[in-house]
Each structure stands twice: as C-alpha cells, then as structure tokens.
Amino acid sequence: MRSAAAALVLALASFCSAPSATAQPEHHPVDIVPQIRTRHLERWPVQLQRADAKVTINDQVATTTLVLTLFNPSRSPMEARVTLPVPDGITLRSMAYDGVGPEPTATLLPRDKARDIYNSIVSRYKDPALLEFLSSTLIQTSAFPIPANSSQNVTIVYEQVLTADAGRVDYILPRSESIESTNTEWKLEVTIKSQSPVASIYSPSHEVQIERRSDNEARVSLTSSSAAQPGSFRLAYTTRASKHEPSLTVFTYPDYSAPDSGGYFMLMAQLPELDAKRERASREVTLVIDRSGSMRGEKMEQARQAAIQIIEGLRPGESFNIIDYSDSVESFKPAPIVKDDDTARAAKAYIAKLEANGGTNIHDALITALRPGTTQPLPLVLFLTDGLPTVGERSEVAIRNAAQKANHANRRIFSFGVGLDVNSPLLTAISTTSRGAPTFVLPKEDVEVKVSQVFRRLDGPVMEAPTLAAPETAETRIRELQPGKLMDVFEGDQVVVLGRYVGERPFRLELAGNSFGREQKFAINVDPAAGGMKHSFVPRLWATRKIGALIDAVRQSGADGGNPNDPKTKELVDEIVRLSTKFGVLTEYTAFLAVEPGQTHHFGLPAEAAGVPLSVPAAREEAAKRVSRRNQDRSGRGGLNQEANSKALKDALSSASDGGGGGGRQVIIDENLERVEITGVQFMNEHTLIRRGERWVESTLIEHENEPPQRTIKFGTEEFEKIMPALAKENKQGLLARGGKVYLMLENQRTLIDLGE
C-alpha cells in the first residue's frame, strides 16, 4: 500500500564496513528521502516501514505521539537521523529509541535553521521532493544505529496548544501532498476529550471513522482507503455549552483574484438535539410499491419485508397507506389511516397478498400517492420502482412536471430505484424537488435493508425547509450557495453549506427554518480576516459541489432526448469545463483535461489515447459531445454511473471523498460501474497542477499553456536557488515535488522549471 507518510524525512548515513557482531557504522553521511521518492529506496535500502500516530486532545492541548519503525534489510549496519516537519508553536516533550548504542537526542529547529537543512539535502541529492517543507519547523534527531537486517522504533512526543475560533478547534499533522510515496504503512488515531459537549467533528483532508464514546469524548481514525492518501491530516471539531444548544462554525478563504475582494466560505452547523421528553412530529407515510412483472421473485419478497418493517416502525397515532401498482394502481385504503394494532395487522395481510405482474405505470402511481391525505404535519412518500415507465404517461418531462404540480401538501418523496433498469435522472428530480432524496439499489444489494435504513432516519426533521441568508446588510453578501436548496434537517444530520461572500467586512449568517411548527433562527458572525491558507480546501469543495449541481442540470436538460444544441446546455458545459480547469476537479466529461502518458483508461476519448492534450476551446467542444452522448443514457449502467458520480461531487466533504482523493487522486465511476482512479492532478494548498502530456501546468496557466515561457530554469542551478525564496513566498514550492517539467506563474512570469526525472 502506498503511504501518505511522506512528510517524515529520513536522513540516513551509509557506511562501508563489513557486517560483523562488532561492526560499527562509519560516518559518511548520505541523505535520502525514502518515503517521498521511490528511487531512494533502490539506492539505500533502509526504509520507514511503519508510522503510528496517536493524538490526544484535552481541551485544546494536543499531545502527538509518533512511533516510527525503521527497517534495515541490508547486510551492514546503518546510521539514521530523523528529520520531522511539525506545526509552529509545538513543544518537544520526549524522544525514545529502542535500539542499542547511545540514546539519540532530538532538537526543535526554527524555520530559518530548518530551511538550511532542507536546502542542504535538496542540493546534495538534486531532488525537489523536500521543497514542500521549505518553510516548516523541524524536529531533528542525532544519528543512531540500525543493525543489519533488523527494525528499530523511534518515538517522538510533542505538545501544542491548539487555537480556537468561535468554539472550533483545529489540528494539523504535516505530511507530504505528493501522490508519489512508498509502501509505508500509516496509522492515525485521535482521541478528543472536552469539558463541553463535542458537537461536529470534521476532517477536510481525509475520510475518517468517528466513534462517539460520550457527549464529551470521541475517537477519530482514518478509514482503510484513506490511510493511503497523501497530504497533511487536518481535523476540526466544535464544542457547545450543552447538546441542546446549536453549534455553528464557518471556514473562510479569500479570493485574491476576485474584483469584489470576496472569497469562499463553508458553514457547518449541528442543530440542538431533541429533548427526550419532547413530542415528535407525527408522520403520514405513503408507501408506494412496484408490483410489475420484473419485480417477481426475490425483489418482491424484499419489498414486502421492507413494507412490513415500515408499518412496524410507525408510532401509534401516525398515519399510513400502501399503494401498489403495475399496469393499474391499487391501494390499501382510499386515504391514509391511523396506525393501531388492527390497522397494522390488516396492512400486513394486504402486503402478503401482493403479486408481481404487468407493466409499470409510474405516472398514475405518483399522482395517487400525492392526493390530499390527513392533516399530519410531516407527510412522506416512499416510492419504489425497478423499471422505466411502460404504461400510461412515459414522457420523463411530463411525469416530472405532473408530480411537482400535484404535490400540494409538500410531501417529501424518497424514491428507491431497484436494479439497473430505472430512469435515474427522473427519480432524482422527483425526490430533490420535493426536498426528499433518491436511493439506488444495485443488483445483489438488499432492497429491504436500503429502504429500512432511509426510513429509520426519517423520525421527524428538527428543521424543515431551511434557508441561509446574510440578512443584516443592505447589499448581497453571499451568493452561489451549494446546495442551492437546503434539504430538511433530521436529527443527527450536519448542515453543510458552501458559497461565495462579497467584500472584506465582517457579516452575519443566519440559518432559519420551521421546527415543530415554529420558526427557529441560528446565527453566527463571520470575519473574513480569520480565514487564509489553512482553509484552502474551501474553494475546491465549493467548486466540486457546484460541478455536481451543474452536471445534474445537464442531465435534466437531456430528458426525452433534449436539445443537444440548446444554448443553455452549452453554457452549463462551458462552466463545468471552466471550473474543472481552474480547480482541478475532474469529471467523466472532463477527464481528458489531465492527459498522462501511458494512460489505460480514457473514457472513450481518442485524444487521450494519443497522449495529446486538447486546448481549452477544443476541450469545451469535446465535453459537449460527450455530454450529448451520455445524456442519452437515462437508465442501465450508463445511467447509474452518472448518478453515482454527480452524487459524489454534490456530497463531497473532503479531498479524499469519492469525488476526489488526497493530493490529486480522484475517483470516477465508469460506464461499467467500475472505479477508475485519475492521478493527473496535483493539489498543494490553494494551487493546482494539471498533467498536460509531458509536463505539469498550473491551472491558472491552462489558457496560455501554448505560449512560450518567459524564462526556463533547470533544477539544481544557481538560477533555481535564486527563485527558491519566491517559491516559498508564493507557497508554490510543493508543486515541484513530483519532478518532471512544471509550467507555472512565478513572480508574474510564465516560468518553466525542469526538475529532471
């Protein structure tokens, strides 16, 4: 497994003495960087075999314990020295070494001294990998021996007082952003302990597993897939006075290129937990079951069991009805009835008699389910189908519009598409328009499990139809919100809204909505000056979610064949390409923007196969062609893969989610529902490199990539040493970690840097 432990730098000294029981290493220092550049592993076999990080945060005081396992597979003893980038403001507590020989020491080095050390290593080995940490604080140990063919552990412990911003605490563990790393195994575990209840826990960099041990304690660990992702590990959590109070926090990042001096923001909110004694909103649940011939067998049996679980899960006094359909539409009762022992027993008997046969009349089933019912405050529709409309109205646009027009009671429609033969854009539109959500059950997945999972969380929203605004200002301070329409917030949900803000002055955000029949408002003051590079993930997440929304809009425009030449569709495609280029967020329509030599998966685009990058204007045309072709895939694997990709983009919460991986790895689901990893993008803080044939190009230069560079600089020369301060000043030194040829803007000049192999 490739490691993300590249932030740990081993400076190793080799020696030439023959192996023996008394052999001692000679001091002929040769520095290598095994976990960043694999070629060093070939030259010097000492390896960072494993890195274990255990972090305990007690009310803003973080103690980080790193256990590094070093392995020397050679026949000669070797001497090692660990050089470790760490955050500013830490205190070195201890270092321990489990080997023989003198106990090594460890020293905390400030930035100016650390830069000298990095410059020395970089210049000796002509390797730019370490440039990423040019401005880091360092812990460096003295030399210590590693016997031949053995492992030794080095344990380093440091502490820091974490900053808090309006109840949010941020932690960072520096690691390399470079995708190129070695087989080091990395493990990370964080324990959070707080005197106040812990509300939200969030990692913008990696997918994590969260175990809530109590209101005041939680354990956070990397998922198995995220453990191999590169990039610094970032964690943020919020606290609140009590769990019955709200918790709101905002991350901001300025956009220095914006004419309005604005930027990007991300709001995260955890609403108050419900009082256990408080009466919950009563639900009216209409369960709509497809009993067409294609449901025959296991799918029908699973649908029956799901229906029975829902009936059993209703509280006494709540209302329900069952609608079943094939060619015709039938129902358990003419209108929803109140659940009691007798009605529940009768409903189960009705469900048991359902038989699968006939076609699929989706239109009439939907309209029947949306008829006026009881006066319960929370009307829900659970709509299940395994096929396309084959009886009655078959037009996707007509069905979509009819459902929206008939929904006078504002029922939330939660649709379930079972199998491959479903019109995924139709089900998505029907659900999201009503503030519900679609769920797709793939072959071999259990219908009963999926339906039950959704129903269990629908135990009454803590906020209905929420909105986000900046109401106390005369001018518009926020715009381009993602999502554009906020969904109902159910208990335990986290509200996440990304958007753009205008201006530099502080402003106030207000989250409002209906809660148990009365309006509730929660507000937070936002100071754009509190943001900066540490929140560089915000604009990319905003772009990721916006691209997902744009793809949804394109998909909806393709209903009933659509018009591939519609100017509105072209405008949407152009914006997808623009955002993909600027932020490096690739989609199946724009994967060809990052062309890597030797790629084996090209999403059907011949330009990629030839390894020739398209110009941006040509890329827009190619993307439009692909969108037009793919829009014809409304069902089957080709329809569901697009659904999965757009959902991953719209739901993205970190750079390691399915929509995008750490350091630039991005996962796209292809037309065979297979996961394809795209690595032709490199992220480093707010900057993005895109692979264009034989070189990497900064995203801000894509429109001008064919213009000749204003200067060309070769790595390791005096001229390169002269630009290193500028690289650090513009925070672009990490973009050079992968080697090759890099074309970027530096000191306002188009600069081509040749880093060699």
- What one-character-per-residue DSSP string does 331-383 give? ESSSS-EE--HHHHHHHHHHHHT----S---HHHHHHHHTS-----SEEEEEE
Residue 205 lies in a domain: yes
Residue 251 lies in a domain: no
For tokens 């830490």, what's the residue?
Answer: 90
> Within a 10 A sphere around the Cβ of 312, how many other Cβ atoms?
11
Same domain, 199 and 304: no
475 confidence band (pLDDT: 50, 70, 90): confident
For tokens 């470079």, what's the residue?
Answer: 178
Q: Which of 627, 662, 697 is the last residue of a domain?
A: 662
In angstroms, the CA 32 to CA 40 distance is 6
Q: What is the distance, to the nearest Å, from the Cα of residue 538 to the centroid of all Cα atoms in its chain?
A: 11
> Residue 305: which residues within 8 A CB-CB, separation 6 or more?
448
How far lies 690's CA from each of 386, 622, 707, 741, 744, in Å? 41, 18, 16, 12, 11
> Within a 10 A sphere around the Cβ of 217, how many other Cβ atoms?
14
Residues facing 217 on adjacent strands: 193, 214
CA-based torsion, 573, 574, 576, 580: positive or negative: positive
- Looking at residue 608, its pLDDT comes to 45
Question: The domain containing residue 418 runs over which residues?
Answer: 283-456
In angstroms, the CA 469 to CA 303 distance is 41
Stated as kind and residue range, the H or E segment containing 510 is strand 507-515
- What share of the chain has pLDDT > 70, as a percent? 87
Residue type, 667: V
Same domain, 412 and 542: no
> Residue 255: phi, psi to the nearest 5?
-105, 100
The string of pLDDT tens digits covering residues 709-737 is 999 999 888 899 899 889 888 888 888 87
Q: Report, as an integer, the average pLDDT of 562-583.
A: 89
Same domain, 291 and 438: yes
- Looking at residue 287, its pLDDT comes to 96
* Angle formed by the axes of helices 537-557 and 636-650, nearest 10°: 150
> Residue 454: which residues within 8 A CB-CB, separation 6 or more?
382, 414, 416, 437, 439
Same domain, 310 and 211: no
More confident: 513 or 130 = 513
Q: Judge whether residue 738 has pLDDT over 80.
A: no
Contact status, residue 723 vs residue 676, Cβ threshold 8 Å: no
- The torsion defined by the Cα of 586, 592, 596 and 599, in degrees rounded to 10, comes to 100
Residues facing 522 on adjacent strands: 511
CA-based torsion, 559, 565, 567, 569: positive or negative: positive
Token couple for 157: 């412990």
Contact status, residue 295 vs residue 261, Cβ threshold 8 Å: no
Q: Supply angle C-alpha 507, 513, 514, rounded to 5.
A: 155
Distance linking the first and last C-alpha atoms of the chain:
23
CA-based torsion, 712, 718, 723, 728: positive or negative: positive
Same domain, 218 and 288: no
10 confidence band (pLDDT: 50, 70, 90): very low
Same domain, 216 and 356: no
Token couple for 343: 């009605």
Contacts 24+ apart (CB under 8 A), 19-25: 19/75, 19/76, 19/77, 19/148, 23/76, 23/77, 23/148, 24/77, 24/145, 25/77, 25/78, 25/79, 25/145
Q: Report, as an integer, the average pLDDT of 573-597.
A: 87
- Looking at residue 407, its pLDDT comes to 94
The string of pLDDT tens digits covering residues 176-235 is 776 555 556 778 999 999 999 999 999 998 889 999 999 999 999 988 877 777 778 899
Least confident of 111-115, 541-545, 567-571, 631-635: 111-115
Contact status, residue 452 vs residue 414, Cβ threshold 8 Å: no
Same domain, 296 and 232: no
Same domain, 178 and 301: no
β-bridge pairing 438-441 and 412-418: parallel
Q: Report, as an integer, the average pLDDT of 576-597.
A: 86
Q: Judge whether residue 581 has pLDDT over 80.
A: yes
Q: Judge whether residue 370 has pLDDT over 50.
A: yes
Q: Judge whether residue 742 has pLDDT over 70.
A: yes
| For the chain, counts of helices (H) and of strands (E) | 14, 40
Q: Report, as an integer, the average pLDDT of 350-357.
A: 94
Q: Report, as an integer, the average pLDDT of 58-71.
A: 92
CA atoms within 13 A on the CB side of 261: 6
Same domain, 28 and 80: yes
> Residue 191: which residues within 8 A CB-CB, separation 6 or more?
54, 55, 56, 57, 217, 218, 219, 220
515 confidence band (pLDDT: 50, 70, 90): confident
The string of pLDDT tens digits covering residues 272-284 is 887 766 667 788 9
- Looking at residue 656, its pLDDT comes to 53
Token couple for 678: 């795209």
Look up the CATH number of the domain holding residue 408: 3.40.50.410
For tokens 């009881």, what's the residue?
Answer: 374
The string of pLDDT tens digits covering residues 406-439 is 999 889 999 999 999 999 999 999 999 999 999 9
- Looking at residue 50, its pLDDT comes to 84
The string of pLDDT tens digits covering residues 185-195 is 778 999 999 99
Same domain, 557 and 613: yes
Residue 348 lies in a domain: yes
For tokens 């329900």, what's the residue?
Answer: 320
Q: Judge whether residue 609 has pLDDT over 50.
A: no
In 44-78, which positions are buried (b, 16+ CB within 10 angstroms) versus exposed (e)? bbbbbbbbbbebebeeeebbbbbbbbbbbeeebbb
In angstroms, the CA 654 to CA 206 distance is 6
In angstroms, the CA 149 to CA 147 distance is 6
In angstroms, the CA 699 to CA 442 distance is 37
- Looking at residue 12, its pLDDT comes to 34
**0.85 exceeded by pTM:** yes
Least confident of 39-53, 80-94, 111-125, 172-186: 39-53
25 confidence band (pLDDT: 50, 70, 90): very low
Residue 462 lies in a domain: no
Q: Judge whether residue 752 has pLDDT over 90.
A: yes
Q: Judge whether residue 6 has pLDDT over 70.
A: no
Residue 463 lies in a domain: no
In angstroms, the CA 430 to CA 363 distance is 11
In angstroms, the CA 26 to CA 611 distance is 49
Contact status, residue 230 vs residue 175, Cβ threshold 8 Å: yes
Q: Is 55 helix (H, G, I), strand (E, B) or coil?
A: strand
Contacts 24+ apart (CB under 8 A), 567-571: 569/624, 569/627, 570/624
Contact status, residue 525 vs residue 252, Cβ threshold 8 Å: no
More confident: 55 or 43 = 55
- Looking at residue 611, its pLDDT comes to 56
In angstroms, the CA 724 to CA 277 distance is 63
Same domain, 227 and 320: no
Residue 263 lies in a domain: no
Peptide bond into 29 cis (omega under 30): no
Q: What is the distance, to the nearest Å, from the Cα of residue 680 to the centroid of all Cα atoms in its chain?
A: 18
Q: Report, as an integer, the average pLDDT of 460-479.
A: 85
- Looking at residue 44, its pLDDT comes to 53
In angstroms, the CA 524 to CA 742 distance is 42
Residue 266 lies in a domain: no
- Our count of domains for the chain comes to 3
Q: Judge whether residue 168 has pLDDT over 60.
A: yes
- Looking at residue 478, its pLDDT comes to 93
Residue 274 lies in a domain: no
Q: Is 722 helix (H, G, I), strand (E, B) or coil?
A: helix
Q: What is the 3-state secondary structure (H, E, C) of 587-627?
A: CCCCHHHCECCCCCCCCCCHHHHCCCCCCHHHHHHHHHHHH
CA-based torsion, 504, 246, 659, 573: positive or negative: negative
Q: Is 148 helix (H, G, I), strand (E, B) or coil?
A: coil
Per DSSP, 116 falls in state H
Q: What is the 3-state secondary structure (H, E, C) of 165-183?
A: ECCEEEEEECCCCCCCCCC
Same domain, 375 and 447: yes
166 confidence band (pLDDT: 50, 70, 90): confident
Q: Which of 431, 456, 481 is the last residue of a domain?
A: 456
Residues facing 519 on adjacent strands: 514
More confident: 559 or 23 = 559
- Looking at residue 650, its pLDDT comes to 93
Q: Report, as an integer, the average pLDDT of 110-135.
A: 74
Q: What is the distance, to the nearest Å, from the Cα of residue 269 to the centroid of all Cα atoms in its chain?
A: 18
26 confidence band (pLDDT: 50, 70, 90): very low
- Looking at residue 118, its pLDDT comes to 74
Contacts 24+ apart (CB under 8 A), 215-223: 215/243, 217/191, 217/192, 217/193, 218/191, 218/192, 219/189, 219/190, 219/191, 219/192, 220/189, 220/190, 220/191, 220/192, 221/188, 221/189, 221/190, 222/186, 222/187, 222/188
Look up the CATH number of the domain holding residue 145: 2.60.40.1730
